[in-house]
Amino acid sequence: MKQRRKVNKREKGVAMIVSFALLSLVMAASTAYIDQSTQAIRMARLTNYEARGSWLCDAAVQDIVAQYWKDFKINQNFNAMDTAFTGASVGAPKAGITGTQADVGKYAAAVIDYSKAANNQSRAFTIRAVGYLDQNNNNVADSNEPRKTIDVRISFGLKRSQVFDYAQFVNNYGWVKGFTENNMIVNGDWRVNGDFDLISGTATINGSVIAASNNKLTPAAIGLVNKTPYKWDQSKYDSHLKTNKSWHNRMRPAYDPAIHGAPGSAEFDKWRDLVFMSEATMVNGRPFGSTVQDSAGVRSWKRTSPWAQYKTLDENPTSEIVMPDLSDFGSPSDSANIAGKQFARSKAWRNTQATFLDGSANPNFNGNGNSTNETLPNGDPNPNYSGAYVDVWDASKNKYVRVSSNGVVNGSALLIGTSSKPIRIHGPVTINGDVAIGGVVDGQGTLYANRNIHIISSVRYKDAPDFKGTSLDQIDKQNSKRDFLGMAARGSVMIGDPEQFSSHELDHMVPPFTKARKDELGNTVPAFNAKETDPWGLKRYESLIQKDDALKAAFKAEAVKGVNQIDGIVYTNNMVGGQVGYEGGGLTINGSMVCKDQAVVAYSGPITMNYDTRIKDRGDDKEPLIDLDLPRGPSVEFLSWQDRGFKLK
């Protein structure tokens, strides 16, 4: 039994020509009502009118969302919304709009509620929309004209970006050239905002390969995977997990229903995005396992020979993922502000985790008495400091020195570590220049460079994660406290010694190999050109540190070791390029590489990539196991839709 409440049939019509009347319409729409008739023709007309009213309301909501989403997507801040929506209420609607849908009707909408999250990383707002049929065409919602009202609650947020769900993510053009199935092996997913091209040769990708249409590129990309790479079957992948390869414990586990649960079970849902499954199926409406995804839809695939086999799972095309924006770090002089720009956030950041997942105490917890001061009483850096910092060993002083001050380096930084004297990092450190890094890293933190990050020799964790095991809780417990390094550059990430770059590297860092694109406003963004001189006075691929007389010799001495391994999460708004395996030994990447353009040239093989699942979303808005202030990207979420009623007359 359902109770229907009485309605008020004397509501006054509201004019929509001036803003006062528009707001009155939104304010008056809080009563739900419906006029009933027993006549079938009346009911048919009512159904038609209500459907049109719903369409108009949805159009009104989309108008406001689209208007502010574009600004938010471009600028990745809440300034426009804060200005337009603050103070909104039913009695004082904000940001009102009107519109017309040809041959359907007219609408009005405004924001009637606005709130900020405690961490300042999101905004929630309610739009009230009214759609009406202007039967006498007087631009007035007369009292005898059909009218529909809805309230929609929406959230815009700067959330941990989906680009970090992949072993490699390239915004502009994903390409592989000159490899075989045996000397390039990717254990993880690879995604492109554009086409994925195997130019020549192939590769083995034990995961999903995803391309998406990108009409911002010049020329526009259809978003297709041009050729399917090889992929191991389940037994071959499982056998490699049992080998003595140095990186086998960095691979995702192979799916085993006896361990990870039957598809659709609660145990399965915990593991499904953290394990390898060679042959994909649809489970609860989304793919599980390795797929090819592009503008043609989602397909499972096999390729253990020159021929590939496919099965369509979903015909819906893929879509673009918006990259985080690192165009404005603010100034090193900015005051500490966890909701501010990058320099301000690094100054304000404090470690709020009292214990690790295994129950052990966190020595850097902000609530500890000995974590408040950045230095010890003797002047040495405090390794238990709760704020952000990076330390290196100074052999001339025979002790560690703190390179940062209050989470910030006002200049460039040369960071070199060894197994006995590793680089010590904690939290998000922001550097006003270049970072050059090589050697062993101890701790958990992210380096933000206001220009370039130069990986000049192999970067390895002192205490690396291990993803073997049959209990997800136990795997998480052991890995939550192990080393983690993020490297995020406002400029580019260059690998190897830039002074040794030849045409093999540089030809892939300049047009026509790199392509122009358009921003969200349709303005052309020129193709990346490594040979251009940037505002710092150097070519875009060169290093400030190599021009520093005090540091260039140490830079050179470390760079001759070459790059054969990178442990960490690499992010840049621009180019990841350079040379790897120059002296032999290939390259192993344990983590993730995210960029707009990619031009890494390998002088030896094999190239192996193992995705670090600690940074992957766990589903249902659960946070990753580790996310130490990695770059955030814009997101929109529709929280609720409430029908406020329909009035026929």
Q: Do the domain assignments include residue 3?
A: no
Question: 595 and 571 in contact (C-beta within 8 Å)?
Answer: yes
Does one domain contain both 600 and 471? Answer: yes
Burial category of 314 from C-beta neighbours within 10 Å (exposed 0-12, middle 13-18, buried 19 and up): middle
Residues 181 and 309 in one domain: yes
Q: Residue 99 and residue 71: Cα distance in Å, rounded? A: 20
- Residue at which a domain ends, from 272, 288, 314: 314
444 & 497 share domain: yes
Q: Cβ–Cβ contacts within 10 Å for residue 124, how many?
A: 16
Task: Dump pLDDT digits (tens) for 386-439.
Answer: 999 999 999 999 999 999 999 999 999 999 999 999 999 999 999 999 999 999
Question: Do 194 and 255 share a domain, yes or no?
Answer: yes
- Distance from C-alpha of 539 to C-alpha of 491, rounded to nearest angstrom: 11
Per-residue confidence band for 620, with pLDDT thresholds at 50, 70 and 90: low
| Same domain? 98 vs 196 | no
Q: Which of 93, 89, 90 is nearest to 64 (CA)?
A: 93
In a domain, 374, yes or no: no
For residues 127 and 91, membership in a common domain is answered with yes
pTM for the whole thing?
0.86
Question: Domain end: 314, 329, 357, which one?
Answer: 314
Is there a domain that residue 139 lies in?
yes
Last residue of a domain, one of 314, 329, 363: 314
Distance in angstroms (rounded) separating the CA atoms of residues 305 and 181? 10
Where residue 645 falls among pLDDT bands split at 50, 70, 90? confident
- Spatial distance between the Cα atoms of 456 and 423, rounded to a whole number of angstroms: 14
- Asked if 61 and 133 sit in the same domain, the reply is yes
The structural domain count of the chain equals 3
Q: How far apart are the first and last CA of the chain?
A: 27
Within 517-629, strands assigned E span 517-518, 524-525, 565-572, 575-580, 587-595, 597-602, 607-611
d(CA 233, CA 629): 36
Predicted confidence (pLDDT) per residue in 2-43, tens digit: 333 333 333 333 333 334 445 555 555 544 444 444 555 455
Please check whether residues 525 and 562 belong to one and the same domain.
Answer: yes
Higher per-residue pLDDT: 520 or 168: 168
Share of the chain above pLDDT 70, in %: 92
Angle, CA of 293, 298 and 302, to the nearest 5°: 85
pLDDT of residue 403: 98
What is the pLDDT, as a whole number, of residue 42?
A: 55
Query: Looking at residue 136, what is its pLDDT?
Result: 82
pLDDT recorded at residue 521: 78
Percent of the chain whose pLDDT exceeds 90: 71
Q: What is the pLDDT of residues 558-609, one digit of tens each?
A: 999 999 999 999 999 899 999 999 889 999 999 999 999 999 999 999 999 9
pLDDT reading at 343 higher than 90 = yes
CA triplet 421, 427, 432: central angle to 5 degrees?
A: 90
* pLDDT tens-digit readout, 221-248: 999 999 999 999 999 999 988 887 777 8
Residue 606 is predicted with a pLDDT of 93
Identify the domain containing residue 137 by its residue range.
14-160+637-647
Assess if residue 355 is contained within a domain: no
Nearest Cα neighbor of 453 from 570, 342, 349 is 570
Q: Residue 458 domain-assigned?
A: yes
What is the spatial distance between Cα 194 and Cα 572, in angstroms, rounded to a whole number?
17
Rounded to whole angstroms, the Cα distance separating 300 from 431 reads 44
Q: Are residues 152 and 184 in the same domain?
A: no
Domain match, 238 and 305 both: yes
Can you give the pLDDT at residue 507? 95
Are residue 147 and residue 251 in the same domain, yes or no?
no
- Indicate the pairing of strand 453-461 with strand 493-495: parallel
In a domain, 575, yes or no: yes
Residue 333 lies in a domain: no
Calculate the CA 616 to chain-centre distance.
10
177 and 270, same domain (yes or no): yes
Percentages helix, strand, coil for the chain (3-state, rounded to 5) are 20, 35, 45
**57 vs 46: which has the higher pLDDT:** 57
Rounded Cα distance between 226 and 215, Å, is: 17
92 found inside a domain: yes
